[in-house]
Structure 1
């Protein structure tokens, strides 16, 4: 029955209704005095009834935004009182137009059409009432009946047109409000989607960096523990590698956290030129990658493709460090329209399947982001293979 309306708008509506009552009531009384002989008369009862009807109608206008349904009911009550008392249409009836506007602008869908029917039916009833009561002549013959019918048709047309126009303006305002709400909702949805994509990207980068760096650190730490007793210089070298890897990972993590905290754009991303550093870290972790590139890139691949290749190789080599037996084969085929990536390693410790952890999910997302595909599964003879095909398109 009641809508949620701010106190400021409610005060504005009440003040507007009071001003409307103060302006239209003297005009209504003046108009009534000029035609009182035709209607009820010019006694105090007529004046009081005019004021009562004005109070009812402008009261309905005051709450039309808060409760369009209740306002329409009150407006109909005021109109019935007005016609039942034999009072003419007057300036105070402008409040009815405000109520019709409110039913179309803020009412429910059902009330919207009830308001439209009220505008049409109220106009016809008002025209008929004016013809029968306000024409000032008795229907004694066909000529008087014809005149009354013409007056009624004319006044009904005026009333219907005025009321339907007021209701139609409210309908246009309703359409405008719905369109604005749709735009706001679309903008919020797009913002949430962009934020979610950014969180997923940062989480994916964080996993790729941390998982790879920790795998290298763990492998070096295990090697240093065994080498400490027999070859202290190897242990020292392993600790140096651990420190370098940890500092590099810490720098990358700080960059990602800065982007997350301050909504900055992407920082420097790894390219094909950084693959040698990646392979060097893998060698330091005790895994010797056998690398084949055939054919070579025909030009400078797009940055997104370079990043995807780097991250997929990084995660695949990390899995080889954690679960392999120390050997891994890497094959890159840079074709005219795509790059095929294949990483295989013998399984010393069972790896996850294609529905495994975040690493395999991240690799698959990397491929999908550039329009490619990726499969990762353990094949025959205990070999785990990662295959990816990434479309290149035109090269720079």
Structure 2
């Protein structure tokens, strides 16, 4: 930031410093606007392109095409043995991901009116592309249970089951129980159909059914280390995104003449990586990944800020901000204060929960003790 001249109407000779006193405010006093966290939720499959989950005999998988990787764990409840693996470019951007019970299992990636069958998401091993039968297209969720592929049409409240996605010569259609039509994600553990919903009291819960989405499911929680990798998961494990202006300095001209104030303002700029590092402590990052754990956490944090408020985000883009480790910076400022006037200097911050995470570069000035009325970050379209 270059030296800035404000309130330059001359009234008498300019003076330096004498009649001007300055104050720095504590963070408890100085954050004025929009700092209350919103409620958060996992982003449902329909609003998270290229994201899905499935379970097979190898374990539990969360696919994040937007991050170019997937999470694997032995068990979503315990979070045992979490690994972050590279997602092969040919396996990215699927509309739906599911797996069967073969040994070794096949993984199905549905994209439009075709689907890709692979043995490994990191290597695209034994890839084969097939046509998706017309009756199998347009589903909201796909999973495999026993000998059947299940296609959930959430909006219609029903599901179709077929033995082959490319030639559905056998199968049928059945309605969904109303309670089973509100899942965020659907998958199968063993031969138990499972869906994820957000419970107002208990957070994200997996509901497991003995028969395909019948009554009386058993439920269990998802381990926080696993939950944090879901789109919107940070809102449930760390707290929803927060944002607001902090007054980093105030200037007061108590004299009867204009006063020029010229000095340096110190403010913190950048990303407090240490605040977010806890989410990756139990993650093992594959050597094939081009980024390390800290960089992955940064991308997940950026994604969280970009989400809508209903998913614990702020609907802002932050990629162009300074994401280097936060440090103190000095900026030269020169202003001319009119008699008996004040100047307030503000900086915008973003946080996760109540922890400041990103100190933005933008600094604004106001004459009154009210924060600027705009957010200095581009909105998500």
Normalised to the residue count of structure 1, the TM-score between the two structures is 0.22
Between structures 1 and 2, the one with greater strand share: 2
Normalised to the residue count of structure 2, the TM-score between the two structures is 0.23
Indicate the structure whose relative CO is greater, using CA pairs within 8 Å and at least 6 residues apart: 2
- Considering only CA atoms, is the larger Rg found in Structure 1 or Structure 2? 1
